């Protein structure tokens, strides 16, 4: 049970990053990377703001964490992200050698960690990532559902 509470704590922090994206009218996804009990990287979606299709929360958090550690390998880190990573982000997580990925909401349209694909646990790749999904799933889903509900009304 201790691990679940720890995961919930860090997911709450990732949700704060998602709220930052929401205020910028970006798809509200947030990510943090934890190393030895401290956040060393965080990110929220910046795709529209930067006009960059790769500016996903996970990618921004990975870049920050690697810069913080001075190493592209994030071997003793845990990533927390509010939405199941897409294929691009899942691939980057594998390349970063992150041992543990914890996500909130499952993504039936682009999830690449258990829903559509299992990139993080594909035995054909040289690294596998232990993946835990569904942490604070309702909260993580709610912010996304509200964003898209409002977006559909506007369009």
- What is the dihedral sign for C-alpha 100, 3, 132, 56? negative
Q: State yes or no: is 137 an active-site residue.
A: no
User: Which residue is it, tokens 């956040």?
Assistant: 39
Q: Of 12, 17, 19, 58, which one is the catalytic site residue?
A: 58
How far apart are alpha carbons 133 and 129 in whole angstroms?
12
Q: What is the number of other CB atoms lying within 10 angstroms of the CB of residue 38? A: 8
- For residues 95 and 89, the answer to whether their CB atoms sit within 8 Å is no
85 alpha carbon, distance to own chain's centre: 6
Closest CA to 57 of 7, 122, 107, 126: 107
- Residues assigned a catalytic role: 58
């Amino acid at each position: 049970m201790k691990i679940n509470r720890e995961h919930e704590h860090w997911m709450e922090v990732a949700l704060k990053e998602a709220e930052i994206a929401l205020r910028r009218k970006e798809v509200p996804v947030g990510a943090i990377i934890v190393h030895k009990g401290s956040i060393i990287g965080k990110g929220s979606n910046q795709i529209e703001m930067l006009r960059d299709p790769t500016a996903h929360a996970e990618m921004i958090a990975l870049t920050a964490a690697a810069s913080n550690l001075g190493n592209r390998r994030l071997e003793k880190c845990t990533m927390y992200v509010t939405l199941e990573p897409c294929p691009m982000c899942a691939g980057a997580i594998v390349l970063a050698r992150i041992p543990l990925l914890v996500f909130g909401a499952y993504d039936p349209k682009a999830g690449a960690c258990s829903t559509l694909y299992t990139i993080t646990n594909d035995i054909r790749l040289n690294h596998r990532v232990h993946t835990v999904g569904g942490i604070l799933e309702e909260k993580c889903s709610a912010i996304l559902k509200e964003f898209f509900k409002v977006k559909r009304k506007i369009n």
